[in-house]
Each structure stands twice: as C-alpha cells, then as structure tokens.
C-alpha cells in the first residue's frame, strides 16, 4: 500500500493506493495507522484508490474461516471497526476503483462520501456460490442496490462493469482514468467543509433506522456545530 499527502485545489489530500490482492492484517494495520494520522492532522480529503489489473483483483478479503492457530482471528472485527472509524472521519472521503476490485474495496465505498471509477473498473463482492461470506456487506449493500439485487449478488455473484455498478448506485462518477475522475471529484467537493461532509455522512448512514424525533435532534446538532441557523424556514 502506498500513501501520499499532497495539495490539490487548495486543500490537503491523502491518497492510499492499494494494489494488494488480499486486505491482510498487515494492510489493515496500515489503514488503521492512516486513520490515526488523519484524526490528528488537518487533512481535508482522503482518497482510497484500489488498483487491480486483468489478472488480479485488488482488495479481496482473506479467508473467512480462520484456523485457531492463526493470528488474524479478530481480522473481521478489526475490519468492521476500521470502517466504522472511516464513516465518522472528519474529512471528505472518496473511494476510487481501477481495474478489478474485490469485496473489501467495495465495502470501503459503502462508508465514504463519493465513489469514483475509471471506465475499465470491474467490481466483485464475491458470493456464497464461490465460498465468500457477505458479513457486514449484507447490511450495507441493500441500501445502495435494493434487497433483490443484493440477494442475487450475494448468492450467485456477478462482476460488475463500471457502467453497471453506476446504474445500481455503487459508483457516483466515471471517467476514462482514475486520475481524471479523482481530480473532478475533489474540485466539485471543494466548497464542502470536512465537518459538513462528516455530519451529512452520519445523517445518511442513520436514515433507515432513526425515528423522526431522533433525526431532528441530530440535524439540529449538526446545524449548531456547523454554525448554521437552527430555525427551519
């Protein structure tokens, strides 16, 4: 995994480029370190860039049946905790796909603000028929693609083209290259503050489970912290 911090459109951007086939415990540890760093520093944008090719898939999960002697018994619990931290990160967050990308890469997209793709990307969540287990993906995926599509993807699987994934709601922006679509997304999100992105993400994440009164309190708290009027028109 390669990590880079630079400046684009007047804001700091941290890019994590992941080309490894399996998101093993070492890669997960590196992701956790990056989340620690972003939480301590003023970094407005974080881009997770998964880059596979024709012969390998970037961002797959390790086996979901670890033996008792393996050191990664807590891997999936740690993974879910890392995604929960990412969903609360006070930064604008992006996931970018290039080439063939696996289930872990797709799950990162579930908890970030904007999902980006090159035209050559292919997304695969794996399926029960090929030995994969959906895990927390079964909670997130139906929110994006609907229950029927999620059931089919988890049971029989499908490698989605960028266009197909966009039609289902898994990708927001496509361009010929990842570089071009990331630049366009950073530019379009420039007027949005990291705090506003964080609160919006939180409200959207909870939209299926919050009762109206709780949602109103959350929205009021967000307006207060962002310095917006609390009166509703």
Token pair belonging to 54: 């024709």
By DSSP bridging, strand 92-98 and strand 45-51 are: parallel
- What is the reported pTM? 0.86
pLDDT digits (tens, 9 = 90+) for 139-167: 888 888 998 998 888 888 889 999 999 99
Residue 218: burial class (beta carbons within 10 Å; 0-12, 13-18, 19+): middle
Q: Express each pLDDT in 12-27 by its tens digit.
A: 999 999 999 998 888 9
Contact between residue 31 and residue 20 where contact means Cβ atoms under 8 Å apart: no
What distance in Å separates the CA atoms of residue 21 and residue 28, rounded to the nearest whole number?
13
The answer for residues whose C-beta is within 8 angstroms of residue 90's C-beta and 6 or more apart is 39, 194, 195, 198
């Amino acid at each position: 995994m390669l990590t880079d911090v630079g400046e684009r459109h007047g804001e700091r951007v941290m890019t994590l480029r992941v080309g490894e086939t399996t998101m093993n415990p070492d890669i997960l540890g590196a992701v956790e370190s990056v989340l620690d760093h972003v939480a301590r520093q003023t970094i407005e944008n974080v881009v997770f860039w998964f880059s596979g090719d024709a012969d390998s898939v970037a961002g797959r999960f390790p086996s979901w049946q670890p033996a008792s002697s393996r050191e990664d018994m807590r891997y999936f619990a740690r993974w879910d905790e890392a995604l929960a931290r990412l969903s609360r990160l006070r930064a604008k967050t992006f996931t970018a796909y290039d080439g063939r990308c696996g289930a872990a890469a797709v799950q990162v997209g579930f908890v970030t603000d904007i999902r980006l793709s090159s035209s050559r990307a292919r997304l695969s969540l794996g399926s029960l028929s090929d030995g994969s287990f959906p895990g927390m993906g079964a909670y997130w995926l139906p929110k994006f693609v609907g229950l029927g599509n999620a059931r089919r993807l988890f049971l029989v699987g499908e490698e989605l083209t960028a266009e197909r994934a966009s039609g289902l709601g898994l990708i927001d922006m496509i361009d010929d290259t990842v570089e071009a679509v990331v630049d366009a997304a950073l530019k379009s999100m420039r007027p949005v503050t990291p705090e506003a992105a964080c609160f919006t993400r939180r409200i959207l994440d909870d939209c299926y489970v919050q009762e109206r009164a709780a949602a109103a309190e959350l929205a009021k708290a967000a307006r207060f912290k962002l310095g917006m009027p609390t009166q509703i028109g």
